[in-house]
């Protein structure tokens, strides 16, 4: 079998269409916004047999859903404001994700450095009572009480051990500094590739209800009567579809989308969170697989943990008016590096350690809180009834966070079902997601699974384990398909093969090179993208998607500009280092980076 006829992962699980194919179609529900919350609704409703169309003006998961801290957590700090219901819900959903998507969501041991016994006690009491209080470093008593409550709220479906507090061991004392006297340790979770989980949810939805479809780069420009006008952001074509209900799941863009959807506004506000990916072996080794959760001197909560062979640092919390313009500013990079210097005084940090940055805008409910960190992270569903222009109900998702997407989607789906007069047939609570189905967590069972896949595909064990980390149980089918195509490693990123990249281009709705580089793979966030690698990826994508030489060059330049302007990736340096092996048609000044060392 040749690369050209590489079999699809599963023809029944490909929901991706272009707007032109939708002209005149009717759907029971149209969902606007293909981030995690919108896709959660898409999956839930499709499971009930409801035919849905989900659209997004950009790529799937291109907004805040691709830019979280990658933590799946209960929200320990929300206890201080008395948000017990939110924390109970979030810890429960965290535990469900650990069971339903174990190939992507994994436990994360977390350590909290503590320097005093009673630090922050008065402030915590005041904040719990609803008063504004100046931030201060929490001490042993406050953190111990919080963790006791945290364990209790997360006891249902417990899949991880409880917390512990100990005198700071020698290794941690040398990591955090002499002032740290105790460490509190507890467990949360992290997700390796959130964008891929969104892909799996869409594929699962289409498998449940083949009439459910998805279109990216498809903007809703109007909603009149039961008709929604869709604009293809790539071709410029405009088509109409009709629907019985509409869901606004556009997150931080909720109020902006309300205009085209004839809905109410002034429901959300956005705060941006910027994150850094560092190439810092000393810090990664010292963390020993754990996340450090701490407060900066200004009271803002920060995190740092090993991510692949890098270190992830986050995050800022800054109000923004226009989510489309949110970007990581140089001052934010300096702020986070300075915070690292405070917490890890024996280590050195500089801009040269930063290999990638990303930013997302959190969709928070409107609030008059003085500080962004005081704004509730809870979610709600609002229903705008039909009006003189729009004759179908509009269900709006307000707020929400990655960890609780399933419960928010269930709540929203229930509203849609009520509007459609349909019963709920099944719950998503215990439903595996994508490659989480039949996935072996036990080391011995996993080893046996790898043996079987190796026997069937002939691929090396290391390669199968690599695929399993990305695709879970679905790696068995993919391994055979890639082996049949030769599974030739990429020259500049051997962890991926050309066959794998072709599959991602063809089977996951890739429309632009940036979709592939930034969201379908872990190459960008892992700090792996060089000018040479981008050339190689562009060649594979162009062949897979039928791009002309002109289109290929435009995609290369656009992706390079996105990496430069939004992620501080210096492709100019890698181009210079690679010399003449790169495409001479790409001008050097088009890939210059604003990052300085």
Structure tokens at 472: 């879970």
- Same domain membership, residue 387 and residue 283: no
What domain range includes position 518?
438-571
Q: Is residue 591 part of a domain?
A: no
Q: Is residue 541 part of a domain?
A: yes
Kindly report the backbone phi and psi dihedral angles of residue 42, in degrees, each rounded to the nearest multiple of 5, phi listed first.
-55, -45
The pLDDT, as a whole number, for residue 594 is 31
CA 153 to each of CA 85, 105, 128: distance values in angstroms, whole numbers, following the listed order: 9, 20, 17
**176-201 tens-digit pLDDT:** 888 888 899 999 999 999 999 999 99
Closest-CA residue to 453 (of 433, 473, 434, 436): 473
Domains contained in the chain, number = 4
The pLDDT, as a whole number, for residue 376 is 62
- Same domain membership, residue 231 and residue 276: no
Q: Is residue 184 part of a domain?
A: yes
DSSP 154: T
- Same domain membership, residue 483 and residue 410: no
3-state helix, strand, coil in the chain (%, to 5): 45, 20, 35
- Same domain membership, residue 275 and residue 262: no
The pLDDT, as a whole number, for residue 117 is 75
Q: Is 142 exposed, middle or buried (0-12, 13-18, 19+ CB in 10 A)?
A: buried
The pLDDT, as a whole number, for residue 442 is 86
The pLDDT, as a whole number, for residue 440 is 76
H/E element, 313: strand 310-314
CA 18 to each of CA 27, 214, 234, 564: distance values in angstroms, whole numbers, following the listed order: 15, 8, 10, 29
- Same domain membership, residue 279 and residue 251: no
The pLDDT, as a whole number, for residue 588 is 37
- Same domain membership, residue 282 and residue 250: no
The helix-helix angle for 405-420 and 84-100 (nearest 10°) equals 90
Cβ(450)–Cβ(474) below 8 Å: no
Residues 6+ apart with CB under 8 A from 282: 347
Q: CATH number of the domain at 507, please.
A: 1.10.8
- Same domain membership, residue 152 and residue 35: no
- Same domain membership, residue 217 and residue 233: yes
Tell me how far apart the alpha carbons of residues 43 and 516 are, in angstroms, rounded to a whole number: 23
3-class state of residue 103 by DSSP: coil
Tell me how far apart the alpha carbons of residues 437 and 563 are, in angstroms, rounded to a whole number: 34
- Same domain membership, residue 386 and residue 238: yes
Q: Token pair 């005084």 is at which residue?
A: 345
- Same domain membership, residue 113 and residue 236: no
- Same domain membership, residue 530 and residue 409: no
- Same domain membership, residue 39 and residue 128: no
- Looking at 343, 365, 387, which one is the last position of a domain? 365
Per-residue pLDDT of the chain (597 residues; tens, 9 = 90+): 333 333 444 444 589 999 999 999 999 999 999 999 999 999 999 999 999 999 999 999 999 999 999 999 988 887 776 778 888 999 999 999 999 999 999 999 999 998 877 555 545 554 555 555 555 567 788 888 888 888 888 766 556 788 899 887 777 877 888 888 889 999 999 999 999 999 999 999 999 999 999 999 999 999 999 999 999 999 999 999 999 999 999 999 999 999 999 999 889 888 999 999 999 999 999 999 999 998 887 778 899 999 999 999 998 889 888 999 898 999 999 999 999 999 999 999 999 999 999 999 999 887 665 555 556 668 899 999 999 999 999 999 999 899 999 999 999 999 999 999 999 999 999 999 999 999 977 889 999 999 999 999 999 999 999 999 999 999 999 999 999 999 999 999 999 999 999 999 999 999 999 999 999 999 999 999 999 999 999 999 999 999 999 999 999 999 999 999 999 998 876 665 544 344 433 433 443 333 322
Tell me how far apart the alpha carbons of residues 133 and 140 are, in angstroms, rounded to a whole number: 19
Closest-CA residue to 403 (of 163, 112, 172, 101): 101
Q: Is residue 325 part of a domain?
A: yes
- Looking at 142, 160, 190, which one is the last position of a domain? 190
Q: Is residue 164 part of a domain?
A: yes
3-class state of residue 460 by DSSP: coil
Cβ(593)–Cβ(573) below 8 Å: yes
Which alpha helices (DSSP H) does 66-214 contain, by range?
84-100, 121-128, 140-153, 170-176, 194-208
CA 30 to each of CA 189, 327, 373, 525: distance values in angstroms, whole numbers, following the listed order: 32, 30, 33, 32
Q: CATH number of the domain at 31, please.
A: 3.50.50.60
Closest-CA residue to 322 (of 253, 411, 251): 253
Bin 35: left if φ > 0, else alpha if -120 < ψ < 50, else beta: beta
Tell me how far apart the alpha carbons of residues 153 and 89 are, in angstroms, rounded to a whole number: 8
- Looking at 134, 168, 190, which one is the last position of a domain? 190
Q: Is residue 5 part of a domain?
A: no
Q: CATH number of the domain at 333, please.
A: 3.30.9.10
Q: Is residue 415 part of a domain?
A: yes
Task: Look up the pTM and report it.
Answer: 0.91
Give 253's Cβ-side CA count (13 Å radius).
26
Q: Is residue 333 part of a domain?
A: yes
């Amino acid at each position: 079998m040749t690369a050209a006829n590489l079999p699809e992962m599963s023809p029944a699980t490909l929901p991706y269409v272009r707007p032109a194919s939708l002209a005149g179609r009717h759907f029971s529900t149209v969902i606007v916004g293909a981030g995690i919350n919108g896709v959660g609704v898409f999956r839930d409703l499709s499971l009930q047999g409801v035919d849905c169309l989900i659209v997004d003006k950009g790529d799937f998961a291109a907004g805040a859903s691709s830019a979280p801290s990658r933590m799946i957590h209960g929200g320990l700090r929300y206890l201080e404001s008395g948000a017990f219901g939110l924390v109970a819900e979030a810890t429960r959903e965290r535990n469900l994700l650990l069971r339903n998507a174990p190939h992507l969501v994994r436990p994360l041991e977390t350590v909290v450095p503590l320097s005093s016994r009673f630090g922050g006690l008065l402030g915590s009491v005041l904040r719990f009572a609803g008063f504004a209080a100046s931030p201060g470093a929490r001490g042993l008593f406050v953190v111990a009480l919080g963790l006791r409550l945290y364990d209790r709220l997360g006891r249902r479906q417990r899949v991880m051990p409880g917390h512990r507090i100990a005198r700071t061991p020698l290794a941690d004392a040398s990591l955090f500094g002499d002032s740290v006297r105790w460490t509190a340790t507890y467990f949360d979770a992290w997700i390796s590739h959130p964008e891929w989980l969104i892909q799996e949810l869409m594929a699962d939805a289409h498998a449940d209800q083949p009439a459910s479809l998805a279109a990216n780069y498809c903007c809703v420009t109007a909603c009149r009567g039961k008709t929604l006008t869709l604009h293809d952001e790539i071709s410029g074509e405009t088509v109409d579809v009709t629907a019985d209900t509409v869901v606004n799941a556009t997150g931080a863009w909720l109020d902006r989308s309300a205009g085209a959807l004839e809905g109410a506004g002034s429901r959300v506000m956005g705060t941006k969170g910027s994150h850094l990916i560092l190439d810092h072996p000393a810090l990664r080794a010292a963390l020993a697989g754990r996340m450090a959760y701490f407060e900066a001197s200004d009271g803002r909560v920060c995190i740092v943990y090993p991510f692949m062979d890098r270190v992830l640092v986050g995050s800022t919390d800054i109000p923004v008016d226009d989510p489309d313009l949110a970007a990581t500013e140089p001052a934010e990079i300096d702020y986070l590096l300075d915070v690292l210097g405070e917490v890890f005084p024996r280590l050195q940090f500089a801009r040269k350690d930063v290999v990638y940055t990303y930013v997302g805008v959190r969709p928070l409910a409107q609030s008059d809180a003085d500080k962004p960190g005081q704004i509730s992270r809870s979610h709600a569903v609002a229903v705008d009834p039909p009006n003189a222009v729009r004759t179908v109900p509009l269900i709006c998702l307000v707020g929400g966070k990655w960890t609780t997407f399933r419960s928010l989607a269930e709540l929203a789906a229930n509203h849609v079902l009520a509007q459609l007069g349909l019963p709920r047939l099944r719950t998503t609570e215990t439903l595996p997601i994508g490659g989480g189905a039949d996935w072996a967590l036990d080391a011995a069972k996993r080893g046996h699974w790898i043996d079987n896949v190796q026997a069937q595909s002939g691929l090396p064990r290391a390669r199968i384990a690599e695929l399993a980390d990305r695709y879970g149980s679905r790696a068995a089918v993919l391994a055979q398909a890639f082996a049949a195509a030769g599974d030739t490693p990429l020259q500049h990123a051997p962890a991926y093969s050309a066959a794998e990249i072709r599959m991602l281009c063809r089977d996951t709705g890739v429309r632009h090179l940036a979709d592939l580089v930034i969201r379908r793979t872990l190459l960008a966030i892992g700090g792996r993208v060089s000018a040479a690698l981008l050339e190689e990826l562009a060649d594979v994508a162009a062949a897979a998607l039928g791009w002309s030489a002109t289109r290929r060059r435009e995609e290369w330049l656009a992706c390079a500009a996105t990496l430069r302007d939004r992620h501080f990736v210096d492709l100019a340096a890698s181009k210079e280092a690679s010399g003449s092996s790169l495409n001479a048609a790409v001008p050097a000044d088009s890939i210059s980076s604003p990052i300085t060392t």
